[in-house]
Amino acid sequence: MNKILLIIRREYLTRVRKRSFIIMTILGPLLMAAIVIVPIYLATRGNETKKVSVIDQTGIFYLKFKDSDNIKFHYLLSDIGSAKSEFRKSGDYALLFIPKTDVSIPTNAILYAESNVSINVIGYIRNVMTKTVEDLKLEAKLHDLQLDQKHPLDVGDILRSIKTEIDVNTMKITDEGKEEKSYTELSMILGTFAGILIYFFIFMFGSQVMRGVIEEKTSRIVEVIISSVKPFQLMMGKIIGVGMVGLTQFLLWIILTFGIVTVATSSFIGDKSQKNLTQQNIIEKASKYNPDNLPLPDSAPSRPRQNEGVNQVFEALNSVNYPVMIGAFLFFFIFGYLMYGALFAAIGGAVDSESDTQQFMLPITVPLILSIVMLQFFIQDPTGPVAFWFSVIPLTSPVAMMIRIPFGVPYWQVALSMVLLVLTFIGTTWMAGKIYRTGILMYGKKVSYRELWKWLKY
Amino acid sequence: MELFSAQNITKQFSGHKALDHVTIDIPEGSIYGLLGPNGAGKTTFIRIINQIIAPDEGRIFFNGRELQPNDIYQIGYLPEERGLYKKMTVGEQAMYLAQLKGLSRQEAQKRLHRWFEKFEMKAWWNKKIEELSKGMQQKVQFLVTIIHEPRLLIFDEPFSGFDPINANMLRDEILAQRDNGATVIFSTHNMASVEELCDHISLINNSKVILNGPVREIKMTYKTNTFEVTYNNFSGNLHDILPGSFSVIKEWQEHGMNIATIRIPVNGNPNQLLNALVPHVMMHSFTELIPGMNEIFIRAVTEKSPETIQHN
């Protein structure tokens, strides 16, 4: 065990110190930051006005939606059926329907539109609805607390108790007047981004494993090393070491991207912490009820003039379930990489130089590339059979599942996909170990598939 | 006392037998030559000793008991196909390989510094391998082979890539290792170095051991009762003065001397030859011709299976 750690350490340190690693670490976040910043920047400049009609059966949100530079709201009193049939003629951008609910507090809304609705609009609507509902809850809470004057206000507790999640479902109204559930741009962007990232990471670090193995073969150090460690230890040490380089890079990218985005956006929107706003809100409201028991505000944020566009993008980004996204990403990245890493290592072991790898690369690259090529289909129909099968079959599942996750995938499908992936990882590693063990000691021999098959049985 | 013993080792690779019931005993403290033409199975045998591959049949004993995974810490192996990480620095690389052989960090550091000083390599510590000459790389490679002070050292063609000065140093170092108690297995095609270094040999051909034993004894079994005599003051024919069962193989003249090689029959003895010659010639030298390892190698391999030589 100690020796595998030595190998991991060497693989990790030699790569992390390389100039190319440092360059990639800096370039990656710049690129990703650009992907985040550019839409925000554009959102602040967009000048096309979108008209949204509102049917609010609850009455709570009447006049709460304020017109901004690029969104204009008008309220309809007609029923939803006729509004929908009128919608296509009206030329409105979207129709917001807030149905009456049995419980007192409404938590969902439906947004009808002809095409996908921009995340800005959804973000703004969700934002306003959340605030309105939270304000209502706050009023009620404070009213209750007023009866119990002994306890000082606990802002954190109140914050937790009023926290509200608003669902804004978007429905597409098609030419035939049919309704289809549509998916927001954000899910699309996130899915595509996560899928491509996994694809890219598997390829990049998988081929690093392969090159590392070939390097050990051509430099002829491999026989020296396997006289001290088992070939399998050397292979796994390399795969894990390189994988940790990948995770390090990923982590640095996240941190640096976050840093760049924070700095860049704050330079043109200023501080806009949601928490501070709500906290300020509570204190303001509470002062009306109970001026003596006020806690001192831990900071005194001035309410900055909000830039709606930017806020909406942030709102949309905040709506993502990050623990699930990041958890799934890490799982599919790690196991997808381990599975492919083993295959790449086997290829490296079987050949003498990188130019010989092509015939063996094909069966590995085809599923990976296919899952990227099919991206369009997954996004159009994330719950359809194509998306399902691609995200369950292990060779394509890391990429395909990550594309689907932001759209919401039934848990049993995710679990099935994960179990199959782990099983396949064990299988490919076992296979790769056999091929690798024999291959690394073969010099100057062109190997065929038949030969590899024989090695499996040694 | 044997340090290492392989009993009836058989190893089969798809379709061909690399080793066929090979039995080799290596006495402790010896330098043991493992000889044989290319493809005979030497490397397979060495890899089995190093537990890189496992034999299909047979048993291996090390230090009196069955070979165990941990025994690799007692073995140092310099493969024929050898090299180092080109982009790594000499020091890091040596540390890495020494630790893989079970040395602690501190111990590896201590020993490496001692050896680097001895070999005058201190200035190389922070250089990358690719910046060193081939000979220098070989020195580093040799050093990491012996750094963990193994009891059994295996050198596969150790002299290839060394210039005569470094080869000489390497030879002295191998002998020094032996004198310090290590046992050395030495695989080579270079018969001159076998002659110079080895006490025992095994000759493997076509996956079988065809010759086995102490070098001196093997030479004795391969000698042909042939003597070389140097003489002068004789103008007659050697055939006339020698008994009929003696045969003159070759006669020539050099620096005013006559030289002849003469074979006596198996039941004859050197004194009979001397007695026949001395009354007629002025004798200057008289030597038994002992065959060299080169000759023994070729004879052993071609006699047993003439087709092997042609194939290689």
pLDDT in tens, A148-175: 666 666 777 777 777 777 777 777 776 5
CATH number for the domain harbouring residue B251: 3.30.70
- Give the position of tokens 């996750």: A405
Collapsing DSSP states into helix, strand and coil, what is residue A118? coil
Q: Closest approach of chain A CAs to the CA of B79, in angstroms?
A: 7
Give me the count of residues in chain A: 458
Residues B213 and B236 in one domain: no
Rounded CA gap, A397 and B57, in Å? 44
In the structure encoding, which two tokens stand for residue B232, read together? 């002068």
Kindly report which listed range (A173-182, A290-299, A429-438) carries the lowest average pLDDT score: A290-299
Residues B166 and B99 in one domain: yes
User: What is the separation, in whole angstroms, between the first and last Cα of chain A?
Assistant: 25
Q: Topology of domain A47-127+163-182, per CATH? A: D-Maltodextrin-Binding Protein; domain 2 (3.40.190)
User: How many inter-chain contacts (A to B, CB under 8 Å) are there?
Assistant: 62
pLDDT at A347: 92
Q: Closest approach of chain B CAs to the CA of A310, in angstroms?
A: 48
pLDDT at A419: 95
Distance of CA A450 to the CA centre of its chain: 42
Helices (H), A147-230: 155-162, 185-218, 222-226
Q: Which residue of A has its CA nearest to B84?
A: A221
Q: Closest approach of chain B CAs to the CA of A345, in angstroms?
A: 18
pLDDT at A72: 84
Rounded CA gap, A281 and A130, in Å? 14
Residues B155 and B252 in one domain: no
Rounded CA gap, A61 and A57, in Å? 9
Contacts of A226 in chain B (CB under 8 A): 52
How far is CA B137 from each of CA A223, A254, B126, B167, rounded to the nearest angstrom? 16, 42, 13, 13
Mean pLDDT of A319-335: 82
Which has more confidence, B41 or A292?
B41
Contacts of B145 in chain A (CB under 8 A): 224
Please report which confidence band the pLDDT of residue A176 belongs to, taking 50, 70 and 90 as the band edges: low
How far is CA B283 from each of CA A344, B68, B260, rounded to the nearest angstrom? 75, 60, 12
Site from B81, B103, B157 to mutate, A interface, most A CB atoms within 10 angstroms: B81
In the structure encoding, which two tokens stand for residue B149, read together? 């002070």
Rounded CA gap, B180 and B173, in Å? 10
Where does a domain end: B220, B240, B260?
A: B220
Q: What's the pLDDT tens digit per position in B168-224?
A: 888 898 999 999 999 999 998 888 888 888 999 999 988 888 888 898 888 888 888
pLDDT at B307: 42
Please report which confidence band the pLDDT of residue A184 belongs to, taking 50, 70 and 90 as the band edges: low
Rounded CA gap, B312 and B300, in Å? 15
pLDDT at A303: 40
Which has more confidence, A454 or B7?
B7
Mean pLDDT of chain A: 79
Residues B112 and B238 in one domain: no
Which has more confidence, B237 or A184?
B237
pLDDT at A96: 87
Q: Is the dihedral of CA A274, A31, A406, A109 positive or negative?
A: positive
Residue B208 maps to a domain: yes
Contacts of B13 in chain A (CB under 8 A): 458
Residues β-bridged to residue B66: B61
Instruction: Please tell me what DSSP assigns to residue A117.
Output: P
A226 touches B at CB < 8 Å: yes
CATH number for the domain harbouring residue B21: 3.40.50.300
Nearest to residue B121, comparing CAs of B77, B151, B166, B87? B166
Residues B244 and B151 in one domain: no
Rounded CA gap, B112 and A309, in Å? 64
Rounded CA gap, A250 and A200, in Å? 11
Q: Is the dihedral of CA B118, B121, B126, B129 positive or negative?
A: negative
User: What is the separation, in whole angstroms, between the first and last Cα of chain B?
Assistant: 36
Q: Are A95 and A52 in contact (CB under 8 A)?
A: yes
pLDDT at A26: 87
Q: Closest approach of chain A CAs to the CA of B40, in angstroms?
A: 16
Estimate the crossing angle of helix A155-162 against helix A274-289, to 10 degrees: 110
pLDDT at A10: 93
Beta carbons of A228 and B101 less than 8 Å apart: yes
Angle (nearest 5°) at CA B210 between B290 and B177: 70
pLDDT at A256: 87
> Is pLDDT above 60 for A299?
no
Rounded CA gap, B253 and B259, in Å? 6
How far is CA A358 from each of CA A303, A344, A389, A395, rounded to the nearest angstrom? 60, 12, 27, 19
Contacts of A3 in chain B (CB under 8 A): 100
Residues B247 and B191 in one domain: no
Beta carbons of B97 and A228 less than 8 Å apart: yes
Kindly report which listed range (A8-12, A69-73, A172-176, A330-334) carries the lowest average pLDDT score: A172-176
Where does a domain end: B204, B220, B236?
A: B220
Please report which confidence band the pLDDT of residue A182 belongs to, taking 50, 70 and 90 as the band edges: low
Residues B163 and B79 in one domain: yes
Q: What's the pLDDT tens digit per position in B63-121?
A: 889 998 888 899 999 988 888 998 899 999 999 999 999 899 999 999 999 999 988 88
Which has more confidence, A435 or A176?
A435
Contacts of A221 in chain B (CB under 8 A): 82-85
Q: What's the pLDDT tens digit per position in B125-136?
A: 999 998 988 888
Strands B247-254 and B257-263: antiparallel
Residue B84 maps to a domain: yes
> Is pLDDT above 70 for A91?
yes
Mean pLDDT of A37-55: 71
Range of the domain at B12: 2-220
Mean pLDDT of B37-46: 87
pLDDT at A43: 59
Q: Which residue of A has its CA nearest to B145?
A: A224
A442 touches B at CB < 8 Å: no
Q: What's the pLDDT tens digit per position in A367-391?
A: 989 988 888 888 777 778 888 899 8
Kindly report which listed range (A11-20, A192-201, B106-115) carries the lowest average pLDDT score: A192-201
How far is CA A307 from each of CA A69, A266, A271, A312, rounded to the nearest angstrom? 10, 11, 11, 9
Collapsing DSSP states into helix, strand and coil, what is residue A293? helix
pLDDT at A298: 45
pLDDT at B309: 37
> Is pLDDT above 80 for A457?
no
Residues B109 and B197 in one domain: yes
What is the location of CATH 3.40.190.10 in chain A? Answer: 47-127+163-182
pLDDT at B70: 87
ipTM: 0.81
Residue A391 CB contacts under 8 Å (≥ 6 apart), including other chains: A378, A397, A400, A401, A403, A404, A409, A413, A417
pLDDT at A295: 47
pLDDT at A175: 57
Share of chain A above pLDDT 90, in %: 17
Beta carbons of A215 and B85 less than 8 Å apart: yes
Distance of CA B128 to the CA centre of its chain: 32
The total number of structural domains that make up chain B: 2
Residues B150 and B83 in one domain: yes
Angle (nearest 5°) at CA A248 between A244 and A253: 145
Mean pLDDT of chain B: 87
Mean pLDDT of A38-57: 72
Contacts of A454 in chain B (CB under 8 A): 14
Nearest residue, CB atoms, B81 vs list A10, A223, A229: A223
pLDDT at A274: 47
Helices (H), chain B: 42-49, 90-100, 105-118, 134-146, 164-179, 191-197, 215-222, 238-241, 270-277, 293-304, 306-311
User: How many beta carbons lie within 10 A of that of residue A47, not counting itself?
Assistant: 6
A229 touches B at CB < 8 Å: yes
The string of DSSP codes covering B106-139 is HHHHHHHHHHHHHTT-GGGTTSBGGGS-HHHHHH
Q: What's the pLDDT tens digit per position in A339-354?
A: 999 999 999 988 888 8
Residues B171 and B241 in one domain: no
Mean pLDDT of A199-205: 90
Nearest residue, CB atoms, A224 vs list B47, B82, B99: B82
Q: What's the one-letter identity of residue B191?
A: M
Residue B312 maps to a domain: no
Beta carbons of A220 and B81 less than 8 Å apart: yes
Beta carbons of B100 and A3 less than 8 Å apart: yes
pLDDT at A155: 73
In the structure encoding, which two tokens stand for residue B235, read together? 């103008």
Nearest residue, CB atoms, B88 vs list A14, A225, A231: A14
Please report which confidence band the pLDDT of residue A315 belongs to, taking 50, 70 and 90 as the band edges: low
Mean pLDDT of B144-149: 92
Please report which confidence band the pLDDT of residue A275 belongs to, taking 50, 70 and 90 as the band edges: very low
Across A102-116, A263-277, A308-322, the highest mean pLDDT is recorded for: A102-116
Q: What's the one-letter identity of residue B202?
A: S
pLDDT at A179: 56
Collapsing DSSP states into helix, strand and coil, what is residue B247? strand
Q: Is the dihedral of CA A338, A339, A344, A348 positive or negative?
A: positive
B14 touches A at CB < 8 Å: yes
Q: Closest approach of chain A CAs to the CA of B51, in angstroms?
A: 7
Rounded CA gap, A351 and A443, in Å? 8
Residues B159 and B265 in one domain: no
Q: Are B60 and B103 in contact (CB under 8 A)?
A: no
Residues B48 and B64 in one domain: yes
Q: Closest approach of chain B CAs to the CA of A197, in angstroms?
A: 29
Q: Which residue of A has its CA nearest to B73?
A: A228
Mean pLDDT of A243-263: 86
Distance of CA A175 to the CA centre of its chain: 32
Q: Which residue of A has its CA nearest to B86?
A: A219
A66 touches B at CB < 8 Å: no
Q: Are A210 and A345 in contact (CB under 8 A)?
A: yes
Rounded CA gap, A36 and A201, in Å? 20
Q: Are A292 and A99 in contact (CB under 8 A)?
A: no
